[in-house]
Amino acid sequence: MAQNIWSGVDTGKSAHHCIVVDDAGKRLLSRRVPNTEADLNVLIDDVLGLADGTVAWATDLNRGPASLLLTLLHHRRQRVIYLSGRRFHHAAAVFRGEVKSDAKDAAVLADHARSCIDPHYMPPADTAARHLKVLTARRSMLSQDRTRAINRLRGLLTESFPALDASFQFARSAAAVMLVSKYQTPMEIREAGVSEIEAWLHGQGARMARKIAVAAVEAAQQQTVQIPGEQLAGVIIGQIAAEILLLDVAITQVERSVDAVLRRHPYTPIVSSMPGFGPVLTGEFLALTGGNMENYRSSNHLASCSGVSPVAKDSGNIMGNNRRPRYYDRRLLRVWYMSSTTAIKVDERSRVYYDRKRSEGKSHTQAILSLSRRRVNVMWAMLRDNAPYRQLGSPVRGE
């Protein structure tokens, strides 16, 4: 009889620990291996030499320190099972004792892979999806830095020049940020005047330079008293504004890189054809799903992983009770939520469905999530049939 073996690998930055068991749970190998290509290839050869049947590998990470190991395994056409943090936590609770070690974690992974009824096999990484994952993560980090910088800038303006803070939406107006990178105090703005500020903003390539200059001077005329610490606050405001402008440039460069990768991805025309999916959300969706639907058995599975499918909460005679899931990919949920929010503004059919849910008494969030659940089904069918989005007749209000 062929002997199937199961290998659990607890991954680390500098080294991994591997434990191999057979169908009966007997330990066949336990080894700590440096995270280098040569050592990992030796480990793979040794594990394959122990089996005369199938081999399955289990890991608790699907990126980061595990990237080299996963690449080598996929090059050797090995089956890899990914165990998420939540599933690993519950699997580890089966073992007695409170000992925490790399060897025990590897044993948990191997035993789970051996006994798992519905394993989650990881397909080989898609190069474009990997690029999108890196780029969208970089853009998210830059956007968060920009939001923090905008909040710091507005906090200082509220203390030293509240009229100017109330005059502009700095998060949306690059010209307003350009303004405070040079002029920060009421006195500086009054002395410069509308003409000088307009000319300077125009030279920086700002849009609506005249409107920004007029609003700034009007705000400066409302405050003639000098607040203690105003000059120092102005210096810091200028520095923060310069940082924001640099972040805007970096975000633009990342978005151009995302566009370049999307042009090469076969699913881009399909995903981006659905209302609400621009380049950024398209890139995030392809990055989070791996660039294909191999990880998801059905539209219901994708909806469950995205957190837009309610789960049953029945007990005894209480039936038909549903609640929001606790365990799902919050990044995927954000993609569906943001795309649906945009869709109700640009797509009539989505707006009709949203309005109907609101008329049924659902809150805005509930209506958006309900719309997202429907859109998951549509996206799944589009990718399954390799067909872009198209409208099938006009929506009927109240249907």
Same structural domain, 244 and 136: yes
Same structural domain, 103 and 158: no
Q: Please state the rounded mean pLDDT for residues 344-357.
A: 94
Q: How many CB atoms lie within 10 A of CB 294?
A: 13
What CATH number has the domain bearing residue 136?
A: 1.10.287
What CATH number has the domain bearing residue 81?
A: 3.30.420.10
pLDDT tens-place string over residues 150-189? 999 999 999 999 999 999 999 999 999 999 999 999 999 9
Q: How many CB atoms lie within 10 A of CB 44?
A: 21
- Going by DSSP bridges, is the β-strand pair 311-312/5-10 parallel, antiparallel, or unpaired? unpaired
Residue 287 lies in a domain: yes
Range of the domain at 67: 5-125
pLDDT tens-place string over residues 270-309? 999 999 999 999 999 998 887 777 778 888 888 988 888 8
Same structural domain, 285 and 358: yes
Q: If you search the block for the tokens 């009007």, which residue do you land on?
A: 218
Q: If you search the block for the tokens 């009889």, which residue do you land on?
A: 1
What's the pTM? 0.79
Give the count of domains, the chain: 3
Same structural domain, 296 and 277: yes
Where does a domain end: 239, 260, 281? 260
Q: Are 389 and 274 in contact (CB under 8 A)?
A: yes
- Terminal alpha carbon distance of the chain: 61
Residues in the chain: 399
Q: If you search the block for the tokens 């409107």, which residue do you land on?
A: 211
Where does a domain end: 260, 292, 321? 260
pLDDT tens-place string over residues 196-224? 999 999 999 988 899 999 999 999 999 88
Closest among 215, 227, 214 to 187, alpha carbons compared = 227
Q: What is the pLDDT of residue 98?
A: 63
CA separation for the pair 147, 151 (Å, rounded)? 6
Burial class of residue 108 in the structure, from the number of CB atoms within 10 Å of its CB (0-12 exposed, 13-18 middle, 19+ buried): buried
13: amino acid identity, one letter: K
Q: What is the pLDDT of residue 335?
A: 95
Q: Are 18 and 48 in contact (CB under 8 A)?
A: no
Same structural domain, 14 and 68: yes
296: amino acid identity, one letter: Y
Q: Confidence band (pLDDT; 50, 70, 90) for 93?
A: low
Q: What is the pLDDT of residue 61?
A: 85
Q: What is the pLDDT of residue 53?
A: 74
Residue 394 lies in a domain: no
Q: What is the pLDDT of residue 325?
A: 77
Same structural domain, 11 and 114: yes
Q: Confidence band (pLDDT; 50, 70, 90) for 2?
A: low
Residue 396 lies in a domain: no
Task: Give the residue, 116 or 56, on which the prediction is more confident.
Answer: 56
Q: If you search the block for the tokens 């990237």, which residue do you land on?
A: 67
207: amino acid identity, one letter: R
Positive or negative: CA dihedral 135, 141, 147, 153:
negative
CA separation for the pair 193, 70 (Å, rounded)? 62
Residue 192 lies in a domain: yes
Same structural domain, 221 and 109: no
Kindly state the DSSP code that residue 315 receives in the 8-state scheme: B
Closest among 201, 245, 382, 195 to 302, alpha carbons compared = 382
Q: What is the pLDDT of residue 398?
A: 44
Where does a domain end: 225, 260, 295? 260
Q: Are 110 and 21 in contact (CB under 8 A)?
A: yes
User: Which long-range contacts (C-beta less than 8 Å, at least 24 apart) are formed by 87-96?
Assistant: 87/112, 88/60, 88/112
Same structural domain, 120 and 175: no
CA separation for the pair 269, 10 (Å, rounded)? 39
What residues are paired with 33 via a beta bridge? Answer: 16
Q: How many CB atoms lie within 10 A of CB 16?
A: 25
The answer on pLDDT for 1 being more than 70 is: no
Q: What is the pLDDT of residue 115?
A: 81
Three-state SS at 294: coil
Q: Please state the rounded mean pLDDT for residues 367-385.
A: 92
Same structural domain, 105 and 209: no
